[in-house]
């Protein structure tokens, strides 16, 4: 009976997931093909000629918003034609070596040169034309992501997969509880993991339930005591934190853990790069997850995703970074080394347009008091394109000072000021950039921290004249560790 149930469960979940996934991918492909069909069908020689005819826009400064958006539409159409040529597998000609990545950097140069200037001239006109531009549906920012996709036929299958999975997982949990000689109802009323395990069953299936009868009994008594204390406190109007909660907050972290997991998510008003350039001018959600071992080696994934579309081109708000590194101390110095693969083009285009960055850092920590710390550091960062010479590589030096104050009740402050030397990477000019940041953190509970507000600022110190200017970016986010 038990074996038959698990065979049925696996068959049901795999079947509904496969059907839902196939229907979703089919809808995406259909929508994408319909979008690309509106662009002109050109050979690579014609595409190269069109690119050369628009190359002048990279350094051209327009006078008004109308001219700005007209030129953006030209670049949009050119990029759409390149995408259609790639989809239709138009034969390559070695005499014409321009690519979709070249068009993206041409759009970036044109935007960096003009967007702030044009918006400052007449913001009302700029905002009006920007909305018109978005409605035209000519949007190379997310050309690989359909604007409107008909997913009506897939919803029922995704719901069948998810809701059916909840029912099957509940039966699975009941079987596990019975094998452990535990009671389902005790976990249902005293353990939040019970409901989390149902709502997020694809992840919790592997580790829940992991309780024992004794643990259940202890948890049930704690739950009953908490309810009793809460009821008495509410009746008396006390409104104070219970003793058991205070004790839980004061418990130190277990010293037996040799692996540390971290995750964070941060919402910023725009994507401000380390070199002072604005990669995306509207809100972005930037998240990361990492694992750190006792020997100092760590690895993780960082992801940036635009939260809105603004009609501005190009969209470098989409980025996926995979990193691995080591940090440690030697003779009182803080040392670290990192290798990062930066995916800035579509995943389907890997490795074209992507970067590899190598970073080496050396620093010194000065502990002013148990709660206050100063850190001075120097870092060398090398950026190299994975294939070819697009985007343009280069090196950076970072020299900075970091100040941290922590454990002021639940609050902490972290600030940083840094001088950056840019050798001219990514098509920008050589120069010095000043950078700073400030974050106020609040410990919500063990392993959960609110980072709000946070600010990042950047300003050119030398006259770069490449579109970079003073930027202040507010943000807020959460950090988790366990």
pLDDT for residue 168: 87
- CA distances in angstroms from 148 to 31, 72, 80, 420, 471, listed in the order given: 7, 22, 17, 42, 33
| Overall pTM > 0.95 | no
Q: Which has more pLDDT, 302 or 214? A: 302
pLDDT for residue 339: 95
Q: Please, where in the chain does CATH 2.40.160.40 lie? A: 318-481
Mean pLDDT of 344-373: 78
pLDDT for residue 288: 94
Tell which CATH architecture fits domain 318-481: Beta Barrel (2.40)
Structural tokens at position 197: 């395990």
pLDDT for residue 239: 36
Residue 410 makes CB contacts below 8 A (sequence gap 6+) with: 442, 443, 444
Asked whether 418 and 444 are in contact (CB, 8 A), the reply is no
Number of helices and strands (H, E) in the chain? 11, 14
pLDDT for residue 40: 83
Q: Which has more pLDDT, 19 or 311? A: 19
24 pLDDT exceeds 50?
A: yes
- Strand 355-369 to 372-385 pairing: antiparallel
**Which residue, among 251, 255, 312, 319, has the nearest Cα to 287 in the 3D structure?**
319
13 pLDDT exceeds 90?
A: no
Query: Of 242-251, 288-297, 406-415, 421-430, where does mean pLDDT reach its minimum?
Result: 242-251
Distance from C-alpha of 154 to C-alpha of 16, rounded to nearest angstrom: 10
Distance from C-alpha of 194 to C-alpha of 315, rounded to nearest angstrom: 41
**Of 46-50, 166-170, 351-355, 398-402, which has the strongest mean pLDDT?**
398-402
Give 3-state DSSP helix, strand, coil % of the chain, rounded to 5. Answer: 40, 30, 25
Q: How many CB atoms lie within 10 A of CB 46?
A: 15
pLDDT for residue 226: 55
pLDDT for residue 366: 87
Distance from C-alpha of 135 to C-alpha of 131, rounded to nearest angstrom: 6
Residue 317 makes CB contacts below 8 A (sequence gap 6+) with: 141, 271, 279, 280, 282, 284, 304, 305, 306
Per-residue pLDDT tens over the stretch 298-344: 999 999 888 865 444 445 678 889 999 999 999 889 999 999 998 87
Long-range contacts, 395-399 (Cβ 8 Å, 24+)? 395/423, 395/425, 396/274, 396/275, 396/420, 396/421, 396/422, 396/423, 396/425, 397/421, 398/361
Distance from C-alpha of 453 to C-alpha of 475, rounded to nearest angstrom: 6
What 3-state class would DSSP assign to 339? Answer: strand
pLDDT bucket at 242, cuts 50 / 70 / 90? very low
Looking at the chain, the whole-number percentage of residues with pLDDT higher than 90 is 25
Per-residue pLDDT tens over the stretch 251-281: 334 444 578 999 999 999 989 988 888 888 8
Instruction: For residue 209, say if its preceding peptide bond is cis, omega within 30 degrees of 0.
Output: yes
pLDDT for residue 346: 55
């Amino acid at each position: 009976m038990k074996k038959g149930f698990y065979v049925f469960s696996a068959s049901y979940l795999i079947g509904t997931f496969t059907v839902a996934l196939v229907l979703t991918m089919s809808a995406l492909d259909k929508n994408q093909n319909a979008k690309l069909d509106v662009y002109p069908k050109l050979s690579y020689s014609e595409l190269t000629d069109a690119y050369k005819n628009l190359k002048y826009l990279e350094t051209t400064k327009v006078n008004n918003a109308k001219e700005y958006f007209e030129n953006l539409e030209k670049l949009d159409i050119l990029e759409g034609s390149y995408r259609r040529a790639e989809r239709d597998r138009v034969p390559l000609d070695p005499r014409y070596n321009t690519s979709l990545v070249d068009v993206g950097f041409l759009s970036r140069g044109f935007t960096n040169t003009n967007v702030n200037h044009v918006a400052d001239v007449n913001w009302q006109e700029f905002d009006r034309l920007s909305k018109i531009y978005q409605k035209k549906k000519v949007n190379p920012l997310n050309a690989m992501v359909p604007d409107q996709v008909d997913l009506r036929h897939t919803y029922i299958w995704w719901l069948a997969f998810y809701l059916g999975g909840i029912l099957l997982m509940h039966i699975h949990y009941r079987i596990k509880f019975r094998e452990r000689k535990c009671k389902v109802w005790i976990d249902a009323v005293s353990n939040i993991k019970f409901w989390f395990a149902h709502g997020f069953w694809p992840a919790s299936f592997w580790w829940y339930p992991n309780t024992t009868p004794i643990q259940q009994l202890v948890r049930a008594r704690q739950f009953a005591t908490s309810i009793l204390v809460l009821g008495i406190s509410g009746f008396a109007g006390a409104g104070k934190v219970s003793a058991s909660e205070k004790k839980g907050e004061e418990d130190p972290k277990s010293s037996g853990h040799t692996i540390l997991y971290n995750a964070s998510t941060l919402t910023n008003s725009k994507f401000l790069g380390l070199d002072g350039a604005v990669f995306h001018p509207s809100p972005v959600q930037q998240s990361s997850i990492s694992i750190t071992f006792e020997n100092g080696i760590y690895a993780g994934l960082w992801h940036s995703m635009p939260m809105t579309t603004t009609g501005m081109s190009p969209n470098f708000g989409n980025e996926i970074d995979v990193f691995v590194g080591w940090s440690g101390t030697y003779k009182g110095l803080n040392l670290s080394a990192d290798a990062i693969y930066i995916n800035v083009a579509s995943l389907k285009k890997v490795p074209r347009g992507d970067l590899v960055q190598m970073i080496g850092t050396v620093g010194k920590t000065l502990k002013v008091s148990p709660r206050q710390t100063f850190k001075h550091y120097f870092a060398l960062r090398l950026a190299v394109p994975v294939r070819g010479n697009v985007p343009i590589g280069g090196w950076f030096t970072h020299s900075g000072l970091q100040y941290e104050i922590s454990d002021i009740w639940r609050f902490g402050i972290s600030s940083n000021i840094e001088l950056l030397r840019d050798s001219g990477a990514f098509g920008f000019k050589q120069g010095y950039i000043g950078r700073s940041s400030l974050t106020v953190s609040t410990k919500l509970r063990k392993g959960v921290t609110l980072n709000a507000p946070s600010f990042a600022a950047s300003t050119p110190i030398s006259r770069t004249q490449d579109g970079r200017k003073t930027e202040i970016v507010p943000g807020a986010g959460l950090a988790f560790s366990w």
